[in-house]
Structure 1
Amino acid sequence: MWNAPNIITLFRVALIPVFVVIYFLDWRWAHELGAFIFWLAAITDWFDGYLARKLKQSTPFGAFLDPVADKLIVAAALIMITHTYATLWVTVPAIVLLIREIYVSALREWMGSQGVRDEVKVSFVGKAKTTAQMLALIGLLSGLQTFMGFPIYWVSLGYILLYIAAVLSLWSMIVYTGAAWKHLGGSN
């Protein structure tokens, strides 16, 4: 249980309260540092999975904790951006993303209990959604529109990517539901 991938995943979970506290500090660079911590957590998500496969250190604990860690930090970030921006233009896609995360997690759990979890495994659409979502959250959390006087438009890009992630979320939810439909209807 105490291998490198699992320790990295636990580190990601430990980053969540640090991320939230730093983001809300009354300090000039708090949002930027919070966005950096979120980015660090996103990178560790890729890294722990890579190590688990490369070192053949996959464990049931890691398989359980990794998606939980992902959902927790993403949910925290979505709640934080809805608080920061306090606009329908951020709140609606954030709610869509949260609903999708809960729905797909429940669907995968149920499919696993039926012994057919592989039919709702991660797809390309799901990976594209995750990439757009993470980049959107980094941009929106940072609040950066300029860097050292140069326009970078992170927030504007964040808005666009948030909507792309929301659309991909709905699409992947439909794909996963379609894959599970025959089992949900009770016929095998």
Structure 2
Amino acid sequence: MSLRSGLLNLPNLLTLGRIAAVPLLVVLLLFESRSNCIWAAAVFGVAAITDWLDGWLARRWQVVTVLGKFLDPLADKLLVMAAMIMLIPLDRVPAWAVFCILAREMLVTGLRSIASSEGIVIDASNLGKYKTIIQMTALPGLLLHYDYYWLFGIEWELFHVNMHNFGIFYFYIAFALTIWSGADYLFKFSKVIAK
């Protein structure tokens, strides 16, 4: 069987790989250390790249499947939510913001399911796509968390960045986009259902 066809084509296998990365990410974050943070960020980064790659391959090879349409957003949500939830006890993200993000995801998924049962498709909005991109930017910074710097010589610092500050900056942008896109879905849903 070719990796370009069938139910378990390469794009779907990449998506399944992203789901398989979630427990590894969780275990790495259970035992906080600088090296575990680096490994967790690497696992998250590779998984985030597969999010783009599986969609690109599916469209390019024209192997978009119902299974892929179901698994892809599920894998994204599992990956992002696992990272955010595991960052709460490490005091890297506020629990209230993670709750709001999780509530939005459940609300939008529910609304899309209701619309789908009525034969109505509410497509992913650009706001939702931007939200995902910004989340995928914020989380590696929050996972890396510590200060990183390179020295040039003994006393001259060439590069210094606090990854937590980088991550939390983008986290709050993602949070705003999450609320905005959630309200947008709610508006679209009410408009479509009212017809």
For normalisation by structure 1, the TM-score amounts to 0.90
Give 1:70 deviation, angstroms. 0.9
- Other-structure match for 1:96: 100
Q: Mean alpha-carbon deviation: is it higher for 6-15 or for 140-149?
A: 140-149
Structure that is richer in strand per residue: 2
Partners of 1:141 and 1:5 lie apart in 2 by: 26
1:84 match: secondary structure: coil
The CA RMSD over aligned residues, in Å, is: 1.6
For residues 59-98 of structure 1, the aligned pairs below 5 Å read 59-85=65-91, 90-98=94-102
Check if 1:55 corresponds to 2:61: yes
Partners of 1:28 and 1:130 lie apart in 2 by: 26
Letter in 2 for 1:50: W
Q: Mean alpha-carbon deviation: is it higher for 148-157 or for 39-48?
A: 148-157
1:155 alignment partner, one of 153, 164, 173: 164
Give 1:90 deviation, angstroms. 2.1
* Percent pairwise identity: 38
Check if 1:170 corresponds to 2:179: yes
1:126 match: secondary structure: helix
For residues 1-188 of structure 1, the aligned pairs below 5 Å read 1-25=7-31, 27-85=33-91, 90-117=94-121, 120-149=122-151, 150-184=159-193, 187-188=194-195
What runs of 5+ residues in structure 2 fail to find an aligned partner?
A: 1-6, 152-158
Against the structure 1 CA distance between its residues 26 and 161, is the aligned structure 2 distance closer, same or farther, given a 3 Å change threshold? closer
Give 1:115 deviation, angstroms. 1.2
Partners of 1:66 and 1:128 lie apart in 2 by: 16
1:78-136 deviation line (CA, Å, top 9, x unaligned): 101111116xx62222222111111111111111111111xx31122111111111111
For normalisation by structure 2, the TM-score amounts to 0.87
Partners of 2:76 and 2:89 lie apart in 1 by: 20
2:119 match: secondary structure: coil
Give 1:145 deviation, angstroms. 2.2
Give 1:65 deviation, angstroms. 0.9
Partners of 2:167 and 2:8 lie apart in 1 by: 36
Higher Rg of the two aligned structures: 2
Letter in 2 for 1:34: A
